[in-house]
Amino acid sequence: MTLHEFQTIIAEKYEKRDRERGTPATFLWFIEEVGELATALAQDDPDNKEEEFADVLAWLCTLANINDVNLETAVQKYLGDHLGYK
C-alpha cells in the first residue's frame, strides 16, 4: 500500500466528520495520539508501539486531508528539496 492509498482510505472513511470537526480540534486528537506513542515507546510492548505508530499516521493523514495536502506529493518534494532526490 502506498502512502497515497492509505491517505485515500482515511479520507473515504473519516473526511466528512473530520472536516466538520476542523483543524484545531483534529490537531488536538493528533497530539493525543503522539502522546500515546510516547508512552508506548517507553514500554516494552511491540504490539502497542505498532498500534500507536499507525494511529499517529492515520491522524496525520486526517490533518492532511482536511487541509488539502497530498502527503505523497509533500514527501516527494521533501526528498527532492532536502535530500537531493529527483
User: What confidence tens digit (pLDDT) does each residue in 23-74 have?
Assistant: 999 999 999 999 999 999 999 999 999 999 999 999 999 999 999 999 999 9
Write out the residue range of the structural domain in which residue 67 sits.
3-83
Rounded CA-CA distance 34/44 in Å is 17
pLDDT (0 to 100) of residue 27: 98
pLDDT (0 to 100) of residue 80: 87
Rounded to 5 degrees, what angle do the CA atoms 51, 38, 61 make? Answer: 55
Q: What is the CATH number of the domain that holds 16?
A: 1.10.287.1080
pTM: 0.90
pLDDT (0 to 100) of residue 50: 98
Residue with cell 527532492: 80
pLDDT tier at 86, thresholds 50, 70, 90:
low
Total domains present in the chain: 1
Give me 16's grid cell.
466528512
Mean pLDDT, residues 70-80 taken together = 93
Annotate 20-79 with DSSP letters as a single string. Answer: HH-HHHHHHHHHHHHHHHHHHHTSS-HHHHHHHHHHHHHHHHHHHHHTT--HHHHHHHHH
Rounded CA-CA distance 70/51 in Å is 23
